[in-house]
Structure 1
Amino acid sequence: MAIDAARQHRARPGPGGGLLRLAPLALLLAGCTVGPSFLRPAPRAPAQWSRASLDAPAYARSRAEARAIDAAWWEGFHDPTLTLLVAQVEQGNPDLEEAAARIAETRESRAIAFAGFFPTLNANASDTRLRLSENSPFASIAGGRVSAGGGAPNAGQGAAIPTGPRPGFAIYQAGFDAAWELDIFGRTRRSIEAAEAEILGAERLLDNARLSLRAEAARTYLELRGLQARQAIARQSLRLQRDNAGLTRSRFASGFATEVDVANANALVAGTEATLPLLDAQVTQAMNRLARLLGQEPGALADRLAAPSPIPPAPPAVAIGLPIETIRRRPDVAAAEAALAAQTARIGVATAQLYPSLRINGSLGLQSGNTVNLFETASRFFSIGPSLIIPIFQGGQLRAQVRLEEARQRTAAIAWRRTVLDALHEVENALAAYYGDQGRRDALRRQAAAARQAANLARTRFAAGLGTFLEVLDADRTRLSAELSVAESSAAVATDLVAVYKALGGGWEPGH
């Protein structure tokens, strides 16, 4: 239920003083904006990253080193193909198109909210036919004839009896209606605040989608080069193993090897051959994932990426900055903060519904009982006056709406804190993987060098008749396993660095 206090003036008199009397009150209350104002939350972040991160040799400690890291982090791998793929992946990707469409949507929402500052104007025209009850006290205003006393004519007398008015008539009207609600308690202003926060959140979500897309393209490309490196190692090992198998068969024919040696040599060849189809399938799948990211059909990149290329080496240093800097530049954290700001503003929108609203209503037009004199000067009419609506009882709906928006704000605050916490853990975990895989890769490289030396010595000794084929077999298996592990670990270090850059917020300028 609401009280609607309105003052209207019709026909020729002026608008009167009601509007003027309410004007000072409207101006006094125009600055009242109810509901909480948004305050940027302070993230709980440690002053430094963990000791493991700070002590890592790849950490860029100096400000000069930090400035050397380009915002286009993927260019640090110095791979032209990777740079080109990252540039092309943003063209026509449906995920980015959807995020961009969301920005356009939120901007239109702001335009709708901003329209609340302006009055509305509508044109109208009507042709209304009315019939009042004959027993109505207003029936006398209508024309027509009925029998005296409301009965039928006396046919026996053969003469008409005077008749009274028939309660039916027509109204023809054309004109304009205008209404303007003053934003006294800030409902429109809070709606605009919410819409602007939604625009900012949509823009940050687009940044986050772009960051994720770049990282996924880089990670998939680096995985592809790692798989191709493992393919090359397996094929090279297969050639050596086939040579060993041929040598073993020759020595068996000469009586210097056993049939078991021949069987073991053939088994090693078959085992290596079995790894190639799996690697071929994984290479094809990686190419198809890249094609999907570029919005192309499966197999579209086969000719372009089929030629193996070395795994791009990861840069020796990475600027990680401080935890608070990471929180400020991550787009997902900024999007969560914008969602919290928008929800805070919606509390003000709901709170403003609890307060009176003041509207200025007006009408201007022509009105007549027939179309002949509708456009005469005497047919003009107007009405103008304020309308004050005071909500009194709505079944608890208005206050429940305020409580609902407050609950949603608490949910948004929890989501923001969770996003901050997840960001800090993501950086720490990415750094741990990056630094850990660097140490593992270096150790595997030393193992592979020693395994290659052992395999060459064992093969030389076996060819000279000084060693057994079992020594060759064991050494060759160790060498193959070590070399495959080095290729896998080198790719892991590169993809770990991509994860670090993504966790740090992607392209950024230190100190900004």
Structure 2
Amino acid sequence: MTEQELPPHWWRLYENPRLDSYVEEALAANTDLRMAEANLRRASAVVQEAEAGRTVSTTLTGQGYGARTHGPQAALPGTFSYALGFDAAWSPDLAGSVRRGIEAASAQAEAAVAARDQVRVVVAAGVTRSYARICAANISLAAARRVAVIQQTTLDVAERLARGGRGTRFDVDRARAAAHAADAALPDLLAERRTALFELAALMGRPPADFPEEAETCSTIPTISRAIPVGDGAMLLRRRPDIRMAERELASATASIGVVESELYPKVSIGASAGSAASTGHLLAPSSFGFTLGPLLSWSFPNRQAVRARMAQAGADADASLARFDGAVLLALRQTETALSSYARARDRFEDLQSAAEAAGRASADAEKLQRFGRVAFLDLLTAQAAYAEAQASLSDARAALVDRQVDLFLALGGGWE
């Protein structure tokens, strides 16, 4: 690992074009991401609504009515009159309620951006993990099938030796048990591969049966050929979307206190109105027009106790948001340290199993040479070959686990949303 900054698209460190295409498709079509994008659009609309509080509000009214001014025997329709009005009002926001409301809405919109980014991180990690599991399952399947063939051959040889009087029933039963055990390993591996294919399809926004056909035949687990860049602690706190989301929610909660507090002060607005009212005989005559202009003062003085109660509620919400922010920071630090430790242990295990597989391969090759010259029995050769195939299967499982730990590390580092 290196302290170089984590690249925005960390999955490209695997240098696997097929994986890159799967991640890009998932980031464009994943259903959770589409929902996060919709939430972001809604939050942006709320900001626009809050900003509209700074503009002039207008009202246009119109009314027409008829009146009979004489006795019951008078003819209809009598006299018709009309009234047209236009009102405009603007608030200077002396108490800061609009300004603080815009701050709260903007912070919530930024929190929605961070929530969207968090979904991107999870989707990219899920695609990478599923693809690696598919490839590992294919390798394990190939190794398990080789083991099954070898164990069946071993059983055939044991039965032939027993029939010739050079073997025992114990040898036959042991070989038969090994053959059945090798066959029994295949269904689980097939189910594991199928499950990973369905998961990959769902992450890419497809029906489960519409998984990428080329992924089903993958036989090379993605690997990173250079040191993993992890950056530094300060960048971690700025990069993780969940921390940014918690910080923005704290900012929104703090601004909401100001919105409620503004209710303690008078509300001042400057208004103007113009209108025309007269009978139809004097429609829009100059004498029918009138207008007013002046400030409007309102103050909900009797509700001050209720306002202070709402302020206490908003303050408690802010305290809870602060606790969530602190918790998000501690969670990020814990997850990063855990991911680093788990990755180091997985890498050690992979290196040990790699050495074991190499040793098993040399033993299998030596057994084949010795058997050719009659130095070892054919059963010993089969045993060595089965051990080598099983070591390869264990190695592929370890490589897949290593990719899992790498993905956990990238998740903890919060990369993939930039």
Normalising by structure 2, report the TM-score: 0.90
Shift of 1:391: 2.6
Distance 1:472 1:267 in 2: 18
Q: Which amino acid aligns with 2:82?
A: Y
Report the equivalent of 1:195: 105
- Structure with bigger helix share is 2
How far, CA to CA, are the matches of 2:375 and 2:158 in structure 1?
A: 11
Structure 1: distance between partners of 2:12 and 2:210: 24
Structure 1 position 127, deviation (Å): 3.6
Q: Does 1:83 align with 2:17?
A: no
Shift of 1:246: 2.1
**Is 1:367 aligned with 2:277?**
yes
Deviation digits for residues 350-409 of structure 1 (CA, Å, limit 9, x no counterpart): 1111111112232211112x3222422222222222121123111622111111111111
Please state how far the C-alpha of 1:119 moved relative to its aligned partner. Answer: 1.6
Would you say 1:278 and 2:220 are equivalent positions?
Answer: no
Deviation at 1:475, TM superposition (A): 6.0
Q: 359-368 or 423-432: which moved more?
A: 359-368
1:482, distance to aligned residue in structure 2 (A): 3.4
Q: Give the partner amino acid of 2:90.
A: W
Task: Describe how 1:146-157 pairs up with structure 2 within 5 A.
Answer: none
The residue number in structure 1 matching 2:55 is 118
Preserved contact between residue 182 and residue 357 of structure 1 (Cα < 8 Å): no
Percent identity between the two aligned chains: 30
Q: Superposed, which structure 2 residues align to 1:303-314 within 5 Å?
A: 303-314=213-224
Query: Are the counterparts in 1 of residues 134 and 216 from structure 2 also a CA contact under 8 Å?
Result: no
Compared CA separation, residues 384 and 71, structure 1 to 2 (3 A): closer
CA distance, structure 1, for counterparts of residue 115 and residue 189 of structure 2: 36
Cα shift readout 1:63-106 (whole Å, capped 9, x = no counterpart):
xxx26x64322121122211111111112211111111122111
Where does structure 2 lack aligned partners over 5 or more consecutive residues? Answer: 73-77
**Cα pair 1:462 1:468 within 8 Å, conserved:** no
2:251 paired residue number: 341
Cα RMSD after superposing both structures: 2.8
Deviates more, 1:226-235 or 1:454-463: 454-463
Matching residue's letter, 2:169: E
In the alignment, the residues of structure 1 paired with residue 64 and residue 179 of structure 2 have an alpha-carbon distance, to the nearest angstrom, of 96
Query: CA deviation digits over 1:457-481, x for unaligned, max 9?
Result: 7786799596696x77976775555
Amino acid at match of 2:12: E
For 1:421, the equivalent position in structure 2 comes to 330
**Partners in 1 of 2:273 and 2:366 — Cα distance?**
104
Residue segments in structure 1 that go unaligned for 5+ positions in a row: 1-58, 132-142, 147-167
- Among candidates 200, 206, 209, match of residue 299 of structure 1: 209
1:315 matched residue in structure 2: 225
Q: Is the 8 A contact 1:173 1:366 kept in 2?
A: yes
Distance 1:326 1:233 in 2: 40
**In 2, Cα distance between equivalents of 1:386 and 1:75:** 62
Q: What is the aligned counterpart of 1:209 among 91, 111, 119?
A: 119
* One-letter amino acid of the counterpart of residue 311, structure 2: V
1:2-81 matched pairs, under 5 angstroms: 59-60=1-2, 66=4, 70-81=7-18
Residue matched to 1:246: 156
1:254 deviates by 2.2
Aligned AA (1:114): E
Q: Which moved more, 1:310-319 or 1:412-421?
A: 310-319
**How many residues are treated as equivalent by the alignment?**
412
Superposed displacement of residue 319, structure 1: 2.0
- Which residue of 2 is the match for residue 43 of structure 1? none
2:198, 2:209 within 8 Å by CA — same for their partners in 1? yes
Q: 1:452: how far off? A: 4.6
1:265 touches 1:473 (CA, 8 Å); kept in 2? no
Q: Is the 8 A contact 2:147 2:390 kept in 1?
A: no
Matched, 1:406 2:322: no
**Counterpart Cα distance in 2 of 1:94 and 1:477:** 45
